């Protein structure tokens, strides 16, 4: 039952907003100039007694239901805000409602209940409804017409296309099961709406004629963001928790994995350098030990180096550094029985109600507990292990999991039900503290609002090693786009996927397709997959290794462009990967077959097995070019062999890249290797004619165009600031570093 606002006075102004009671008793929230933001807002409080069951990091509601109580307000006014007492039909005050502007174009709606454990934000649908956001989801990025829960959990291996848990719910995920949900949505006014909570949020996004966000807590707060464009909403949300974290420059080169011991690491390092692959990170997931299990080859749940597989780890690190590689490891927030780590730290796991360690069957099929990161002792123990790994020489690692938090457990400093979604933030802030001040980084998969403040790099989970649309290769696009709306600046997926339960291991075609998309992602990274001996790898044959080297060079040479976009993400909250509608308002908000890498590259991978071409619809009213050939193109069918990917540039695009091959983005001096400093002395600037354009690199070097190109042309000069003309178009350059610039003007 919904709250009715009865007998309220006329419009109330707060900041940039006007709140008005409508004839039906709801609140209409508009901007000062009349722009509608939220129509017929009703609020409710309620109670729920649901019991959530966990297996394998997956969750389902086992029993119980929520009921909401209708309340009527007595209105009060405060200075700069509106305050309502919310009373039931007996006149008892059950909650208060406070509405106030908290900053430029941000409205805070707070409901403080005196009882119960549910709050509902409910509003009318408008008939032109979109709800873009909600975090990372495999099927879509616009969730209009859907109803689901935002609750950090395992996304599943494969998915059903409904919210009803299947019989094997602990393996197969529901449609919106996600490691990284986010309670933020963009509406088409445009307006952003966000629940400020770490609790579960149930959403209904216009399955009927209303939409609502239900938070599982007694008191809740919601933000209404006003903006002139959807991009401004994305930026504001990204900066809400603070500045997004950024990795070192070398993270923008490809990463390759090497497991099963030091001999394999040495083999991979040698073959990569021999092939000319500009890899700057080698990561060994099994640095703590590895075992073959029924579900594949996995790291053992220890927290220290396995010196049988990796004897003299500091020596391994030194040898890799000399070849221009950083070395990564792996951590997960688990303590498993019969391990040295458990003997040390079993007191630091989440407990049962009786005070015993809360154990469950973990990812390695051992009886396992979740580390209590709200405990000072648990935090310090884990921090000491991370710092010890960094002291050995590890330059970072995968910070895996953080979804497996038992909802009926007991933690020292948090309510595991009410604060469930905050556990990834605790896990990621731990790693940020451990690596603070070091030339190092980490990458994470789980998340909630605020995660990008701690985690510099994100990956969208363990996709299937297949072209399946429920959890395979095609899902990378909607998941990456959803992460971008949630504020993730830098992301990159497991090339060729990870899970092979219910589908075949990866093959050469899948690997090639995924490699090209990896190259056109902010981070390019391989992963061996669960069944490492059966999956196709980057060095499974000479052609594949050569392809990895080729696309690795494409990716690494885009460093000036990618690092410039990352600087913009850091200062403005603009993600590197973007839905097309953020730049082209006429595009479908729910489009999931392509993405923009910055403003200048439209990436449209072939997503179907066996296909050698695909239809690409390019935004209208813009001149487009094939990025690879420079040909002027229109929407149509484009061919692409396994080792090719369609990429397009709009008129006005400026794409700076290194002028030649690089060996590593780890800076030198490194004998015989082209390093970041070496490559930084020269640029090729591709300029696509037809409209004015500009671009700013991370070091402040600025490019802008003037004039009209009458032909395609190339010109070269060495300067720090000045201009270079080619084909009738002038490129102005303003910088502090002298470089050799080759300007390639692409004209129709």
Cα separations in angstroms, 540 against 291, 319, 525, 535: 22, 24, 16, 9
pLDDT tens-digit map of 26-75: 889 999 999 999 999 988 888 999 999 999 999 999 988 888 765 555 66
Q: Which pLDDT band holds residue 81 (cuts at 50, 70, 90)?
A: confident
* 506 domain residue, yes or no: no
Q: Which two tokens mark 226?
A: 């006003």
Q: In what order do the strands lie in the sheet with 694-696?
A: 694-696, 702-706, 729-734, 722-726
Indicate the pLDDT class of residue 22, thresholds 50, 70 and 90: confident
pLDDT in tens, 313-350: 999 999 999 999 999 999 999 999 999 999 999 999 99
CA atoms within 13 A of residue 501's CA, in its CB half-sphere? 16
Asked if residue 162 belongs to a domain, the reply is yes
Close Cβ partners of 175 (under 8 Å, ≥ 6 residues apart)? 137, 138, 139, 146, 148, 159, 160, 161, 162, 163
Q: Quick count: other Cβ atoms within 10 Å of Cβ 636?
A: 10
- Which range of residues forms the domain containing residue 681? 654-746
Instruction: Quote the DSSP letter at residue 499.
Output: B
Classify the phi-psi angles of 407: left when phi > 0, otherwise alpha if psi is within -120 to 50, otherwise beta.
Answer: alpha
- pLDDT tens track for 585-606: 999 999 999 999 999 999 999 9
SS3 13: strand
Say if 735 falls within a structural domain: yes
Domain boundary at 238, 258, 273, which? 238
* Cβ atoms 569, 585 nearer than 8 A: no
CATH number of the CATH domain containing 61: 2.60.40.1760
Tell me, yes or no, whether 308 lies in a domain: no
Query: What is the overall mean pLDDT for the chain?
Result: 95
CB 655 within 8 A of CB 649: yes
In a domain, 429, yes or no: no
Spatial distance between the Cα atoms of 521 and 556, rounded to a whole number of angstroms = 11
Q: Return d(Cα 575, Cα 578) in angstroms, integer.
A: 6
User: Which residue, 733, 562, 719, is CA-closest to 655?
Assistant: 562
The string of pLDDT tens digits covering residues 118-162 is 999 999 999 999 999 999 999 999 999 999 999 999 999 999 999
Look at residue 38 and tell me if it is in a domain: yes
What pTM was estimated for this model as a whole? Answer: 0.97
Whether 538 is covered by a domain: the verdict is: no
- Please name every residue paired with 58 in a beta bridge, in sequence order, or none if there are none: 55
| pLDDT exceeds 50 at position 194 | yes
Q: Return the H-helix or E-strand segment holding 390.
A: helix 376-392
Which of residues 200, 219, 238 is at a domain's end? 238
- pLDDT at position 4: 39
- What pLDDT is stored for residue 94 in this prediction? 80
Give the domain-ending residue among 238, 262, 280.
Answer: 238
What does the alpha-carbon distance between residue 576 and residue 295 come to, in Å, rounded to a whole number?
Answer: 34
Q: What is the number of domains present in the chain? A: 2
Separation of alpha carbons 460 and 478, rounded Å = 10
- Closest by CA position to 262, among listed 287, 290, 296, 292: 287
Q: What proportion of the chain, given as a percentage, has pLDDT over 90?
A: 89
Q: In this structure, is residue 304 part of a structural domain?
A: no
Yes or no: say if 538 and 495 are a contact pair by the CB < 8 Å rule.
yes
Which residues pair with residue 281 across a beta bridge?
255, 326
Cβ neighbour number for residue 735 with a 10 Å cutoff:
18
CA distance 369 to 367: 7
Residue 676: its pLDDT value, please?
A: 98
**Most distant CA pair in the chain, distance:** 83
């Amino acid at each position: 039952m919904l709250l009715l606002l009865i007998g309220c006075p006329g419009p109330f102004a707060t900041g940039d907003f006007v709140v008005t009671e409508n004839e039906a008793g709801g609140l209409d929230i508009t901007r000062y100039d009349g722009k509608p933001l939220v129509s017929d807002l009703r609020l409710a409080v309620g109670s729920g007694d649901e019991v959530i069951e966990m297996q394998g990091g997956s969750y389902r509601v086992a029993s119980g239901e929520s009921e909401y109580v209708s309340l009527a307000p007595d209105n009060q006014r405060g200075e700069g805000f509106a305050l309502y007492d919310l009373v039931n039909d007996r006149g008892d005050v059950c909650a208060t409602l406070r509405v106030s502007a908290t900053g430029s174009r941000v409205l805070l709606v707070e409901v403080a209940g005196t009882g119960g454990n549910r709050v509902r934000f409910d509003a009318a649908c408008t008939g032109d409804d979109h709800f873009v956001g909600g975090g990372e989801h495999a099927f879509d990025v616009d969730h209009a017409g859907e109803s689901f829960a935002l609750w950090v959990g395992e996304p599943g291996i494969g998915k059903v296309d409904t919210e009803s848990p299947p019989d094997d719910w602990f393996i197969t995920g529901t449609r919106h099961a996600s490691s990284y949900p986010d309670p933020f949505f963009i509406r088409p006014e445009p307006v952003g709406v966000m629940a400020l909570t770490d609790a579960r949020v149930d959403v209904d996004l216009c399955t009927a004629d209303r939409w609502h966000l239900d938070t599982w807590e007694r008191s809740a707060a919601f933000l209404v963001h006003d903006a002139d464009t959807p991009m401004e909403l994305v930026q504001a949300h990204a900066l809400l928790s603070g500045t997004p974290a950024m990795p070192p420059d070398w993270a923008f080169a490809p990463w390759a994995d090497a497991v099963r011991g030091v001999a394999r690491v040495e083999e991979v390092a040698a073959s990569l350098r021999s092939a000319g692959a500009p890899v700057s990170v080698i990561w060994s997931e099994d640095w703590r030990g590895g075992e073959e299990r029924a579900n594949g080859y996995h790291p053992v749940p220890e927290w220290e180096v396995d010196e049988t597989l990796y004897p003299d780890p500091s020596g391994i690190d030194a040898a890799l550094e000399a070849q221009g590689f950083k070395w990564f490891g792996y951590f997960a927030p688990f303590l498993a029985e019969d391990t040295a780590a458990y003997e040390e730290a079993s007191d630091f796991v989440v407990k049962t109600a009786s005070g015993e360690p809360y154990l469950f069957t973990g990812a390695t099929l051992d009886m396992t507990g979740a580390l209590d990161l709200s405990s000072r002792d648990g935090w310090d123990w884990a921090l000491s292990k991370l710092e010890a790994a960094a002291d050995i020489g590890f330059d970072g690692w995968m910070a895996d999991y953080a979804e497996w938090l038992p909802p009926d457990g007991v933690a020292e400093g948090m309510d595991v039900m009410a604060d469930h979604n905050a556990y990834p933030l605790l896990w990621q802030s731990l790693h940020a503290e451990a690596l603070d001040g070091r030339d190092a980084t980490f990458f994470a998969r789980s998340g909630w609002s605020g995660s990008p403040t701690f985690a510099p790099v994100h990956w969208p989970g363990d996709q299937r090693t297949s072209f399946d649309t429920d959890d395979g290769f095609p899902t990378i696009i909607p998941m990456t786009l959803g992460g971008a709306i949630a504020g993730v600046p830098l992301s990159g997926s497991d090339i060729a996927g990870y899970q092979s339960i219910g589908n075949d291991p990866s093959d050469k075609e899948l690997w090639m397709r995924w490699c090209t998309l990896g190259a056109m992602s902010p981070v390019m990274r391989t992963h061996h997959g669960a069944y490492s001996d059966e999956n196709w790898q980057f060095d499974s044959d000479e052609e594949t290794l050569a392809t990895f080297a080729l696309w690795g060079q494409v990716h690494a040479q885009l460093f000036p462009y990618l690092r410039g976009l990352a600087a913009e993400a850091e200062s403005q909250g603009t993600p590197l990967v973007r839905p097309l509608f953020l730049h082209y308002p006429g595009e479908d908000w729910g489009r999931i077959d392509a993405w923009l890498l910055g403003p200048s590259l439209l990436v449209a991978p072939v997503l179907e097995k066996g296909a050698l071409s695909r239809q690409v619809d390019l935004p209208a009213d813009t001149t487009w070019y094939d990025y690879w050939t420079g040909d002027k193109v229109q929407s149509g069918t484009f061919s692409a062999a396994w080792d090719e990917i369609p990429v397009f540039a709009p008129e006005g695009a400026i794409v700076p890249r290194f002028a030649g091959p690089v060996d590593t983005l780890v800076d030198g001096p490194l004998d015989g290797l082209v390093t970041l400093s070496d490559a930084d002395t020269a640029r090729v600037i591709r300029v696509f004619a037809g409209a004015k354009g500009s671009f700013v690199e991370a070091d402040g070097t600025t490019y802008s165009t003037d004039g009209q190109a009458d032909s395609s042309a190339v010109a070269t000069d060495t300067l720090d600031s000045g201009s270079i003309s080619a084909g009738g178009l002038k490129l102005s350059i303003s910088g502090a570093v002298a470089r050799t610039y080759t300007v390639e003007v692409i004209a129709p």
